[in-house]
């Protein structure tokens, strides 16, 4: 699938970008992977790791800059869109900057990909785009809508856009597990709400979902990986059984529970063995049998949320993951 393909990854120096590139190089033989990001120090560090691999190319650029995007897409087949302003309180306090990156940046990328006849684009989304209560979620919902609605006019350029939607990605920068690990010496973890729950998805699973999207997509789909959930207190206990808790209250824009599929999405949602697929409501595409394939339509009142999830990750399971990936220095 990705053999002999040229791939550009926006936000390629982030947690996901690092993992996507390392796993893709291990499984496939791409012609070229372009790391497109605006952090030159992260690019410098990453370039040192790949200095002997001529397939990895680094370009300093911002998705707010359409002209640089267009130049950078020369010869590219596939795009993974991982660049975003994603920290919820940061977005609440800096709404103009969040909109410029998450919405205007998405529009720039869509225009650039259509102009350059890119074959397939997979954009990373978030649980917070499902019934959003914060600005980050609202901007990602708008971004998702832009990518989905762009498929009909992009079809004349043979360009397809699809979405993958994640909850909490274990070990990614800014996520709760590395945050708790960083506080081990303080012996007390701040807890926003003891009832809070989160989906638990590994970076490896996040990458595999993008691979699946590239292989399956016809344009306009939202792919949602089935994932276990955990209560925030159990997450904290997985990091340390001895640390105390300090209840600090909900941060601006924060949800108590994650939701990846809303009841409003259920008429267009289909279930598969290890994921769900939300098909576009526009143009009756959710009735297209070629897109549905082997999927089974979910119940009309179906909601996929972390507080009502039958699949739960245990403290022992997360502790084992932390021991293998963080304490042994394997976290990107």
Neighbours of 315 (CB within 10 A): 17
Residue 220: predicted pLDDT: 96
14-18, 195-199, 296-300, 322-326: least confidently modelled range: 322-326
Task: State pLDDT tens for residues 37-50.
Answer: 999 999 999 999 99
Residue 283: predicted pLDDT: 87
88-92, 101-105, 148-152, 328-332: least confidently modelled range: 328-332
Contacts by residues 261-264 (CB-CB < 8 Å, ≥ 24 positions apart)? 261/130, 261/224, 261/298, 261/302, 261/303, 261/304, 262/130, 262/131, 262/303, 263/301, 263/302, 263/303, 264/131
Residue 330: predicted pLDDT: 40
Averaged pLDDT of the chain? 94
Q: Averaged over 297-322, what is the pLDDT?
A: 95
Task: State pLDDT tens for residues 203-217.
Answer: 999 999 999 999 999
83-87, 116-120, 138-142, 174-178: least confidently modelled range: 174-178
As a whole number of angstroms, the distance between CA 191 and CA 197 comes to 11
The band of 327, judged by pLDDT with boundaries at 50, 70 and 90, is low
Q: Averaged over 304-331, what is the pLDDT?
A: 84
Q: Averaged over 20-33, what is the pLDDT?
A: 98
Q: Is the pLDDT of residue 162 over 80?
A: yes
Residue 128 annotated as catalytic: yes
In the set 19, 66, 128, 237, the catalytic residue is: 128
Q: Is the pLDDT of residue 191 over 90?
A: yes
**Which residue segments constitute the domains of the chain, with CATH numbers given?**
6-168+201-226+260-305 (3.40.50.720)
């Amino acid at each position: 699938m990705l053999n002999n393909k040229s791939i550009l990854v926006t936000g390629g120096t982030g947690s996901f970008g690092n993992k996507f590139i390392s796993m893709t190089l291990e499984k496939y033989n791409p012609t070229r992977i372009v790391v497109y990001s605006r952090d030159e120090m992260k690019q410098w560090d990453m370039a040192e790791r790949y200095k002997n691999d001529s397939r990895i190319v680094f370009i300093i650029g911002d998705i707010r800059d359409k002209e640089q995007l267009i130049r950078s897409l020369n010869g590219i087949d596939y795009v993974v869109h991982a660049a975003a302003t994603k920290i919820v309180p940061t977005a609440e306090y800096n709404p103009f900057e969040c909109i410029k990156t998450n919405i205007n940046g998405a529009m720039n990328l869509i225009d650039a990909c259509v102009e350059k006849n890119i074959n397939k684009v997979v954009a990373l989304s978030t649980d917070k785009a499902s019934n959003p209560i914060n600005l980050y979620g609202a901007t990602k919902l708008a971004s998702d809508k832009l990518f989905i609605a762009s498929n009909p006019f992009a079809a004349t350029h043979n360009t397809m856009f699809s979405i993958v939607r994640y909850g909490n990605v274990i070990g990614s920068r800014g996520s709760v597990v590395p945050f708790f690990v960083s506080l081990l010496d303080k012996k007390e973890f701040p807890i926003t709400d003891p009832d809070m729950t989160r989906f638990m998805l590994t970076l490896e699973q996040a990458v595999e979902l993008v691979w699946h999207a590239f292989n399956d997509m016809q344009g306009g789909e939202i792919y949602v990986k089935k994932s276990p959930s955990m209560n925030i207190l159990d997450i904290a206990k997985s990091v340390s059984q001895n640390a105390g808790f300090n209840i600090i209250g909900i941060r601006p824009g924060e949800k108590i529970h994650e939701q990846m599929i809303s009841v409003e999405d259920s008429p267009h949602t289909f279930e598969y063995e290890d994921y769900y697929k939300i098909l576009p409501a526009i143009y009756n595409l959710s009735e297209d049998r070629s897109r549905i394939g082997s999927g089974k339509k979910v119940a009309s009142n179906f909601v996929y949320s972390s507080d009502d999830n039958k699949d739960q990750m245990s403290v022992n399971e997360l502790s084992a993951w932390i021991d293998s990936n963080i304490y042994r220095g394997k976290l990107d």
